[in-house]
Amino acid sequence: MVSTLFPSAFFFFFFFFFIFVCSPVFLFFCNASAALLESLPTLSFEEGYTQLFGGGNLILLGDGKRVRISLDERTGAGFASQDLYLHGFFSASIKLPADYAAGVVVAFYMSNGDVFPKTHDELDFEFLGNIRGREWRVQTNVYGNGSTAVGREERYELWFDPTEDFHRYSILWNHERITFYIDDIPIRETVRSAAMAGCFPSKPMSLYSTIWDGSGWATSGGRYKVNYRYAPYVAEFQDLVIHGCAVNPMDHSSACERPDAAIYGSSTMSPEQRAQMDGFRRKHMTYYYCYDRDRYPTPPAECKMDQIETRQYYGADGVRYGGHRRRRRGGRHNRSSVAQADAAL
Ligand SMILES: *[C@@H]1O[C@H](CO)[C@@H](O)[C@H](O)[C@H]1NC(C)=O
Ligand SMILES: *[C@@H]1O[C@H](CO)[C@@H](O)[C@H](O)[C@H]1NC(C)=O
C-alpha cells in the first residue's frame, strides 16, 4: 500500500509545492524581484526619511506613512533617506498633481551628488507635468561616476492616469544590474558590463523624493511653464519601501550582513517578466537614447544596435514616430535635471 501510494503522494507534494510556493505570497522563492514587491514592509516617514527642503510644503498623513509634498510660488519640497545605501530595493507609490501641471517635475531618485560631487552616481524616475488634456510623461536615467555628459534618458507614456490613483515605482539595484519597475512591471534593465565601465553606479546613494519647478525644460523644452494660478501642485507618496544595505556614513563601508541581502544580490528576471518588459517598451517607450543618432553618432557602448525591428519606429533624434515629436528635446538637458535641482537648493 505504502509503496504504491508513495509515487503519487510524492507527485502531489511537488505539484502543490510549486502551486503554493509560486503563488504571489511566496513568489519570493521563484522570482526575487516580484516577491520583493509583495512582501517587503513599508516604512513610516520618520523611520526612513528626513525632510530636505520646503518647510510646510511637506506634510505627513495616515500615521506618518503618507507624505504630501507640494509646489507653490514660494517653494517646492522634498525628502531624503536618512541613510546612504549600497544596493537594495527602493519603492514608493506615488500620486501626481492633477489638472494643469506644465513645468512641474516630480522626481523619485537615488543620488550621491552631495557626497561625491565630481564622480556622482544617480538613478532617476522623473515625472514631467503637462498642459491640461495632455498626459504626464515618465523618464528614467542612469548616471555613474560623474558621467553627466552622457545622458541615458528613456521616456515613456503611461497606460494609466498617474494623477487619478497611486501607482508603484521601484528601483532594484545590485552589483550586476539595475531594474526599474512600474506597478511590478519591469520597464528598464541596465546590466553592468565592461563597456559601461564606471558608468554603472557603484557607490552608495541616498534616496530622494522632490517636487520642483522645471519651467526651463520639463514641458515641450520649456515652452510651457509652471502657472502658479493652479498652485499648489500636490504629489503624494505612500507604501515607502527601503530595503537596502545601509553604509557607514564615515567610511562608506557596508554594514550589510543581513541574511536577506541575497534577495537583491542575485536577481534575475523570469522569461514572463522579460516578455512584459519588452512589451512595455515596444508599446510605451517614446524616446530612447540608444536610437538618438543626432546626439550620439556613435551610441554609448552598452547600446545593442541589433534591435533593428524596434529601431525603425524611431527617428534620428531617438523619438518614436507618431504623435510625440513636439515633445522632444526636453530630455536633452545635458546634465541631470535632478542634479541641477540639487544644485539650486
Ligand atoms: C571614476 O572616476 C574617477 C575620476 O574621473 C576615476 O579616477 C575612477 O577610476 C573612476 N572609477 C571607475 C570605477 O571607473
Ligand atoms: C550644457 O548646457 C549648458 C547650458 O545649459 C551649456 O553651457 C553647456 O555648454 C552644455 N554642455 C554640453 C556638454 O553640451
Pocket lining: 334 vs ligand 2, CB cutoff 6 Å: yes
Quick one: DSSP state of residue 27?
Answer: G
Pocket lining: 312 vs ligand 2, CB cutoff 6 Å: no
Q: Burial level of 33, CB count in 10 A (0-12/13-18/19+)? A: buried
Both 201 and 297 in one domain: the answer is: yes
As a whole-number percent, the residues of the chain with pLDDT over 70 amount to: 77
Residues with CB under 6 A from ligand 1: 119, 145, 197-198
Tell which residue, 45, 158, 173, 165, has the closest CA to residue 109.
173
Residue 10 has pLDDT above 50, yes or no: no
Both 274 and 305 in one domain: the answer is: yes
As a whole-number percent, the residues of the chain with pLDDT over 90 amount to: 57
**Which residues have a Cβ under 8 Å from the Cβ of 334 and sit 6 or more positions away?**
148, 149, 151
Both 259 and 320 in one domain: the answer is: yes
Q: Pairing state of beta strands 317-319 and 167-173?
A: unpaired
Distance CA 11, CA 340 (A): 59
Both 16 and 75 in one domain: the answer is: no
Distance CA 170, CA 242 (A): 10
Both 119 and 76 in one domain: the answer is: yes
Confidence grade of residue 197 (pLDDT, cut at 50, 70, 90):
confident
How far is residue 225 from each of residues 4, 33, 134, 278, measured CA to CA in Å? 76, 38, 14, 34
Ligand closest to CA 334? 2
Average pLDDT over residues 63-75: 97
Please give the distance, rounded to the nearest whole angstrom, from the Cα atom of residue 205 to the centre of ligand 1: 16
Please give the distance, rounded to the nearest whole angstrom, from the Cα atom of residue 107 to the centre of ligand 1: 27
Q: Which of 334, 335, 337, 340, when mutated, tests ligand 2's pocket best, judged by the most ligand atoms within 8 Å of its CB?
A: 334
Ligand closest to CA 196? 1
Both 22 and 115 in one domain: the answer is: no
The residue from 38, 46, 47, 122 that is catalytic is 122
* Nearest Cα residue to atom 12 of ligand 2: 334
Average pLDDT over residues 319-336: 54
Which CATH number do you get for residue 111?
2.60.120.200
Distance CA 28, CA 8 (A): 27
Residue type, 101: A
* Nearest Cα residue to atom 14 of ligand 1: 198
**Which residues have a Cβ under 8 Å from the Cβ of 320 and sit 6 or more positions away?**
285, 286, 287, 288, 313, 314
Q: Is residue 175, in this structure, part of any structural domain at all? A: yes
Average pLDDT over residues 227-249: 93
Q: Among 11-25, 118-132, 153-167, 188-202, which is the least confidently predicted range?
A: 11-25
Both 301 and 212 in one domain: the answer is: yes
| 43 backbone φψ class: left, alpha, beta (φ>0; ψ -120 to 50) | beta
**Alpha-carbon 90 to chain mean position:** 9
Pocket lining: 194 vs ligand 2, CB cutoff 6 Å: no
Q: Into how many domains does the chain fold?
A: 2
Q: Is residue 36, in this structure, part of any structural domain at all? A: no
* Nearest Cα residue to atom 7 of ligand 2: 334
Both 138 and 268 in one domain: the answer is: yes
Q: Cell numbers of 50, please?
A: 528626513
Distance CA 284, CA 316 (A): 18
Boundaries of domain holding 6: 1-30
Please give the distance, rounded to the nearest whole angstrom, from the Cα atom of residue 281 to the centre of ligand 1: 32
Average pLDDT over residues 315-344: 58
What integer best gives the mean pLDDT of the chain? 82
Structure confidence by residue, pLDDT tens digits, 243-301 = 888 887 777 776 665 545 555 555 678 899 999 999 999 999 999 999 999 999 999 98
For residue 236, give the 3-state DSSP assignment: strand
More confident residue, 17 or 248: 248
Structure confidence by residue, pLDDT tens digits, 123-175 = 999 999 998 888 999 999 999 999 888 889 999 999 999 999 999 999 999 88
Confidence grade of residue 11 (pLDDT, cut at 50, 70, 90):
very low
- Is 157 annotated in the active site? no
Rounded to two decimals, what is the model's pTM?
Answer: 0.81
Structure confidence by residue, pLDDT tens digits, 105-128 = 999 999 999 999 999 999 999 999
More confident residue, 39 or 77: 77
The residue from 38, 73, 126, 153 that is catalytic is 126
Residue type, 11: F
Q: Which atom of ligand 2 is nearest to the CA of 149?
A: 13
How far is residue 39 from each of residues 90, 241, 263, measured CA to CA in Å? 13, 10, 12
More confident residue, 142 or 328: 142
CB atoms within 10 A of CB 5: 9
Q: Is residue 37, in this structure, part of any structural domain at all? A: no
Both 83 and 130 in one domain: the answer is: yes
Could you tell me which residues are beta bridge partners of residue 154? 140, 288
- Is 236 annotated in the active site? no
Distance CA 128, CA 219 (A): 7
Q: Is residue 278, in this structure, part of any structural domain at all? A: yes
Residue 333 has pLDDT above 90, yes or no: no
Both 183 and 261 in one domain: the answer is: yes
Distance CA 179, CA 187 (A): 7
Both 111 and 253 in one domain: the answer is: yes
